[in-house]
Amino acid sequence: MMNIAMVSEHASPLAALDGVDAGGQNVHVAQLAGALAARGHTVTVYTRRDDAEAPDVVALAPGVRVVHVPAGPPRALPKDDLAPFMAEFGRWLARSWIADGAPDLVHAHFWMSGLAARHAADALQIPLVQTFHALGAVKRRHQGLADTSPARRLAAETALLGGADAVLATCGDEKRELVALGADPERVAIVPCGVDLAAFTPPAPRGQEASDRTVEPVRIVALGRLVERKGVDTVIAALAALPASAPDSAVPNTSALNGAVLHIAGGPDAAELDEDPEAVRLTALARDLGVEDRVVLHGRVDRAGAAALLATADVVACTPWYEPFGMVPLEAMACGRPVVGSAVGGLLDSVDDGVTGLLVPPHDVDSTTAALARLLTDPDLAARMGRAGRDRVERLFGWDRVADRTETVYRRVLRRHRARQQKPRSDARAWFSTHLSELQHAARDAAAHADVVDRWGAQLATLLGAGGRVLVAGNGGSAAEAQHFTAELVGRFEDERTPLSALCLSAETSSLTAIGNDYGGAEVFARQVQAHGRPGDVVVLLSTSGRSANVLVAAERARTGGMHVWALTGPAPNPLAEAADEALTVDAGSTSVVQEMHLMLLHAVCAAVDARHAATPVPGPAAVPVAGRVMDGRERTEAGLLLGVEAG
The answer to the question of residue 171 being in a domain is yes
Share of the chain above pLDDT 90, in %: 63
The answer to the question of residue 319 being in a domain is yes
The answer to the question of residue 588 being in a domain is yes
The answer to the question of residue 196 being in a domain is no
As to burial, measured by CB atoms within 10 angstroms (0-12 exposed, 13-18 middle, 19+ buried), residue 217 is middle
Q: What is the pLDDT of residues 48-93, one digit of tens each?
A: 999 999 999 999 999 999 999 999 999 999 988 999 999 999 999 9
Choose one of 344, 375, 395: the last residue of a domain.
395
425 band by pLDDT with thresholds 50, 70 and 90? low
150 band by pLDDT with thresholds 50, 70 and 90? confident
**Same domain, residue pair 127 and 230:** no
Q: How distant, in Å, are the alpha carbons of 188, 349, 527, 644 from that of 327?
A: 21, 12, 36, 63
pLDDT at 522: 85
- What is the crossing angle of helices 153-163 and 111-124, to 10°? 40
Positive/negative CA dihedral, 353, 359, 361, 362: negative
Average of pLDDT values for 602-606? 95
pLDDT at 434: 77
**Same domain, residue pair 112 and 50:** yes
Q: Looking at the predicted structure, is the pLDDT value of residue 196 above 90?
A: yes
Q: Looking at the predicted structure, is the pLDDT value of residue 350 above 70?
A: yes
Q: How distant, in Å, are the alpha carbons of 145, 470, 483, 508, 527 from that of 514?
A: 16, 22, 20, 10, 11
CATH of the domain at 367: 3.40.50.2000
The Cα 5–Cα 66 span in angstroms is 10
The answer to the question of residue 598 being in a domain is yes
**Same domain, residue pair 331 and 474:** no
One-character DSSP codes across 504-542 = EGGG-HHHHHHHHHHH-GGGTTHHHHHHH--TT-EEEEE
531 band by pLDDT with thresholds 50, 70 and 90? very high
**Same domain, residue pair 572 and 609:** yes
The Cα 500–Cα 465 span in angstroms is 7
**Same domain, residue pair 346 and 481:** no
- What is the crossing angle of helices 232-241 and 277-288, to 10°? 10
**Same domain, residue pair 391 and 461:** no
**Same domain, residue pair 496 and 625:** no
**Same domain, residue pair 287 and 229:** yes
Cα 25 to the center of its chain, rounded Å: 15
The Cα 22–Cα 15 span in angstroms is 7
**Same domain, residue pair 594 and 627:** no
* HSE-CB for 346 with a 13 A CA cutoff: 23
Query: How many domains in the chain?
Result: 4
Positive/negative CA dihedral, 151, 153, 156, 161: negative
**Same domain, residue pair 647 and 605:** no
- DSSP 8-state assignment for residue 621: P
**Same domain, residue pair 528 and 639:** no
The answer to the question of residue 479 being in a domain is yes
**Same domain, residue pair 331 and 371:** yes
Give residue 635's domain range.
620-648
Q: Looking at the predicted structure, is the pLDDT value of residue 171 above 70?
A: yes
